[in-house]
Structure 1
Amino acid sequence: METTHGATVTSVEQVTPHMVRLRLRLDEPGAWVSDGTPDECVHVEVGATTNDADGHSARHYTVSGHTPDGFELEVFLHGDGPGATWARTARPGDRTEVSDSKGYYAVPKGAGVRVLVGDATALPAIARILAEAAADEVFHVVVELSDLADARELPTAATATVDWRLAGNGTRASALKAVLGALRDSHLDPTDQAYVWVACEAKESRAIRQMLRREYGLPLTHFRIVGYWHFDLAHALRVWEEASEQTKADYLALWRDDRSDEENWVELEPFLQKMGA
């Protein structure tokens, strides 16, 4: 994990049937660095004995809000993995470690309607993006849930339409790619300069990225696609573990700090397909 900061859980709140909000008090609040983006996330030590697909024993979660001595984060309780188990059993006084934050949401100057699309894991980020939006912004939001009981109010000063779908989240087939396809004529005309932010299961996110790049003509600066979790984590880990050291080195070399993440993905996607990921 990156630079770490000691933290204590101070409260646990059940937001919806499958979403928990935890408030963390940092040992040294002034030492923790927020990147300021509304979808910022942190790595959190959750007691995992196995790494995720990115090689972390920690798990990453959205910072849903800041407090004077720390921040809040939200965890979607899907499955019985180490992250969900940690959040489900966390109690005030529990100790953990967190990283500095990193976010992805970056609307370019002159962009039109903001299109936010995601599954339940994206809901905390979507809620904060809307909460921090200005009154002159316009949003079209689509969230797919495995249980509509997890839908909630999304207050905002902006103009926003929110469409809740019963799909995806590892229990049903995802509808997000089809949803974006249906929005093509109404919201995604390249001349309208829409900004598209998508966060969902990793493989689904890659399919959506390919569609936006190949079929929609949106510039790379006008969309950000993020894979938040893996439906088949065992497969993702196996592909990496079985790769040769040269293949791993070639993969790591493709990601360059002098390019945007979406520019890096132009090179990464065909490489991942060749690996069988």
Structure 2
Amino acid sequence: MPRNSRGREIYPISYRELYVQNVEDISPCMRRITLSGEQLQEHKHDGISVPALLSNGFDDDVRLIFPDPETGERPHPIAQKDGNLLWPEAVKNLFRTYTVRHFDAANQRLAIDFARHGEGLAENWSQNARIGDAIFVAGPKSCAQLPTHTDWLFLAGDETALPAIGRCVESLPCGHPAIAVIEVPTSADIQSLDISDSVQVHWAVRERGEDFVEKTRALFEATSPSLLPDGEGYVWAAGEASRLKPLRRLFKASGITPEHQEITGYWRRTNPKHGKGNASSSSNSVLHNIHDLAELNSAFALRTAVRLGLFQEIDAGANTVPALAVAAELHEEALGRFVRYLAALQLVEISGDALTLTAMGMELADPDSNAVRWLSGPAHLEAMALMRLEHSLRTGESAPQGEKGLPWSEYVSRDPQLVAERFEQKNVSAGWTAPSAAKALQQYLDETARVLIIGQGGAVYADEILRRWEHAQSRIISDASSEAVLQEIAVTSRARCETNGEGSGFYPTEVDYVWATDVVFIDPWGVFGSEEVAHQLNRAISKDTFRRVYIFTEVIDTVGGDEHSYEEDMVRLSMFGTKIPTQEDINAAVADNGAFIASTTAVGWGKRLFVLEAEAKS
């Protein structure tokens, strides 16, 4: 799956306390609350430096952490020195994600638009907000560039997408063609937007029976070519998740390339019978519930249901046990018993003979959901790795994995699709570090750099480097095919990028090292054992030529660290025989090769950049 073509900057995840400066009703369905405060600027909190808030992207989002509606308490996340936040349990159900409608850095004002739905945590707070009220705000953690790199832009969504669409069309350079389709509840909710003549806005009013999906379809399927501009387009759509499915098919059929498509479910309609379920229900709380279920007994049931595609089949119309058994090719009586269990877990609802999906079930019916990806494919195998941890604790080596008890190498050789899914998974993860990594390298690389990149997600790092240095070249050492690797590279940069062939692994040749002026290792302890890491560093660190070597990696604390990092370290041990390195591991590998760490920089969220140089000859 190609990377999205919008460039993106990644920032440390910070939280700050802000105060309500102004409350304004923009329309009957939209209330704008402007926040301000000294913590919008660079400051220190509990000994940790907090950078000034940045928001340059039209769809930047922040997490608003509301007071507990019952107790009035105001818990908040805990800042970490590595650019990350810890989210205590007391906070997890008190935040909601909102788009930044406007940010005025000069006057230190941050505006958030709240679409009204009638009830809910955010709705109640916004309706009762008064000047001076305090609220914790986390983010933005990233900003994506304005999509003006194609010939024209198309945006569509319901009122929850209106803040992002409004900010986008008001930010476009004069003359850039754009079309926006925005759905609002009533005619009174149509907003006046400050746009140029090159932007067309089509309003879909629900009280008149209009629909943003149908209006979009009419524009794309009309026989008249004048309805859409000529050239290459970029499409962006957001809103209620289930309504976006037809747009995915529509944009695909229109010929718009995947890297120029961005479709995001901002919220999901839920069943009112489930207590808090209405349009204002948080998709975050849905995801947290899914993660809570993914433990031991419920984990097996949840992962099995996802891998069998049961939620997708119910969503597609197989809404009785017999129909579902036929669609999924399962034993009917056994499935009926399993469905009862899924209903007890509040993943499905049984009414007579009919099956319907709950909010969590609807999330799991979306094949593009991050939750589905996390519960299936290679992520599923990694999550199950600790079941065979005893073998690794006895031997210090990787253990047979999965239901079949096979080494990972066996899974790889038997299932090319699994390899492709893991490649995509690692690229998605790399997308949240690579922009910061490339930015951190700016002081070291020059325009003629030849950068050898070794490790998982290497294509994403290469893409970010080649975007920033117009004449640099890259060679990627990967276990994926050349075709898959190059698909992650922007078309304009591919001529400056090479790969090591058809999935031949992470082992460079001497020719590769001789070719390079700079060598980048991405999480080397994640793909190599400690001895092999030392061996590859020895090959890379040149005693005779000036060549810098860089390591991007997480560093695990020996005590008192994050439990998720320790869990990932155990997964690596059990599944691959690898690790997350400690600082001592890194120091030892570098010193053993006659080199030293010239600098260390925090990068992205929880990663570090180590710049290595060879010791001078005596």
Which TM bucket (shorter chain)? 0.7 to 0.9
The one of 33, 39, 57 equivalent to 1:37 is 57
Q: Matched residue of 1:120: which SS? A: coil
Please give the alpha-carbon distance, in whole angstroms, between the structure 2 residues aligned to 1:206 and 1:49: 35
Query: In 1, are the aligned partners of 2:151 and 2:232 still within 8 Å (CA)?
Result: yes
Q: How does 1:1-277 map to 2 (within 5 A)?
A: 3-30=14-41, 31-47=51-67, 57-67=94-104, 68-101=107-140, 102-103=142-143, 106-107=146-147, 109=149, 111-167=150-206, 175-185=211-221, 186=225, 192-213=231-252, 215-232=253-270, 237=286, 240=290, 242=293, 244-245=298-299, 247=303, 251=374, 253=379, 254=425, 256-259=428-431
The one-letter code matched in structure 2 to 1:13 is E
Structure 1 residues 191 and 142, CA gap change in structure 2 (3 angstroms): closer
Structure 1 residues 18 and 123, CA gap change in structure 2 (3 angstroms): same
Structure 1 residues 11 and 173, CA gap change in structure 2 (3 angstroms): same
Q: Which string of whole-angstrom CA distances, capped at 9 and with x for unpartnered residues, describes residues 1-33 of structure 1?
A: x53111111111111112111111133222343
Q: Matched residue of 1:11: which SS? A: strand
Please give the alpha-carbon distance, in whole angstroms, between the structure 1 residues aligned to 2:148 and 2:30: 31
Q: Which string of whole-angstrom CA distances, capped at 9 and with x for unpartnered residues, describes residues 79-116 of structure 1?
A: 2011111111100111110011145564262x122111
Aligned residue-pair number? 251
Structure 1 residues 223 and 153, CA gap change in structure 2 (3 angstroms): same
Tell me the C-alpha RMSD between the 2 structures: 3.3
Please give the alpha-carbon distance, in whole angstroms, between the structure 2 residues aligned to 1:59 and 1:116: 23
The structural deviation recorded for 1:149 is 0.6
Q: Matched residue of 1:231: which SS? A: coil
Q: Which string of whole-angstrom CA distances, capped at 9 and with x for unpartnered residues, describes residues 219-241 of structure 1?
A: 12212112111211758739825
Structure 1 residues 14 and 76, CA gap change in structure 2 (3 angstroms): same
In the superposition, the TM-score normalised over structure 1's length comes to 0.77
Query: In 1, are the aligned partners of 2:237 and 2:264 still within 8 Å (CA)?
Result: yes
Query: In 2, are the aligned partners of 1:115 and 1:141 still within 8 Å (CA)?
Result: yes
Please give the alpha-carbon distance, in whole angstroms, between the structure 2 residues aligned to 1:249 and 1:15: 37
Query: In 2, are the aligned partners of 1:39 and 1:62 still within 8 Å (CA)?
Result: yes
Structure having the higher helix fraction is 2
Structure 1 residues 151 and 230, CA gap change in structure 2 (3 angstroms): same
Q: Which string of whole-angstrom CA distances, capped at 9 and with x for unpartnered residues, describes residues 137-171 of structure 1?
A: 1111111111111101111235122111123xxx8
Query: In 2, are the aligned partners of 1:189 and 1:216 still within 8 Å (CA)?
Result: no
Q: Matched residue of 1:192: which SS? A: coil
Structure 1 residues 190 and 131, CA gap change in structure 2 (3 angstroms): closer
The structural deviation recorded for 1:58 is 0.8
Query: In 1, are the aligned partners of 2:31 and 2:116 still within 8 Å (CA)?
Result: yes
The one-letter code matched in structure 1 to 2:33 is L
Structure 1 residues 124 and 130, CA gap change in structure 2 (3 angstroms): same
The one-letter code matched in structure 2 to 1:245 is A
The structural deviation recorded for 1:212 is 2.3
> Who is 1:272 aligned against?
none
Please give the alpha-carbon distance, in whole angstroms, between the structure 2 residues aligned to 1:172 and 1:259: 42
- Give the number of the structure with larger relative contact order, counting CA–CA contacts within 8 Å between residues 6 or more apart: 1
Query: In 2, are the aligned partners of 1:74 and 1:124 still within 8 Å (CA)?
Result: yes
Structure 1 residues 32 and 99, CA gap change in structure 2 (3 angstroms): farther
Deviates more, 1:16-25 or 1:244-253: 244-253
Q: Structure 2: which 5+ residue stretches go unaligned?
A: 1-12, 42-50, 71-91, 278-282, 304-370, 380-424, 433-618
Please give the alpha-carbon distance, in whole angstroms, between the structure 1 residues aligned to 2:115 and 2:254: 31
Structure 1 residues 18 and 250, CA gap change in structure 2 (3 angstroms): closer
Q: Matched residue of 1:83: which SS? A: helix
Q: Structure 1: which 5+ residue stretches go unaligned?
A: 261-277
In the superposition, the TM-score normalised over structure 2's length comes to 0.37
The one-letter code matched in structure 2 to 1:227 is G
Please give the alpha-carbon distance, in whole angstroms, between the structure 2 residues aligned to 1:49 and 1:250: 33
Deviates more, 1:37-46 or 1:238-247: 238-247
Bigger-Rg structure (1/2): 2
Q: Which string of whole-angstrom CA distances, capped at 9 and with x for unpartnered residues, describes residues 197-228 of structure 1?
A: 11111222244224423x22221221211211
The one-letter code matched in structure 2 to 1:38 is F
Query: In 2, are the aligned partners of 1:32 and 1:100 still within 8 Å (CA)?
Result: no
State the identity %: 24
Please give the alpha-carbon distance, in whole angstroms, between the structure 2 residues aligned to 1:190 and 1:56: 44
Structure having the higher strand fraction is 1
Please give the alpha-carbon distance, in whole angstroms, between the structure 2 residues aligned to 1:58 and 1:197: 25
Structure 1 residues 129 and 245, CA gap change in structure 2 (3 angstroms): same
Q: Matched residue of 1:121: which SS? A: coil
Structure 1 residues 103 and 199, CA gap change in structure 2 (3 angstroms): farther
Q: Matched residue of 1:80: which SS? A: coil
Deviates more, 1:83-92 or 1:246-255: 246-255
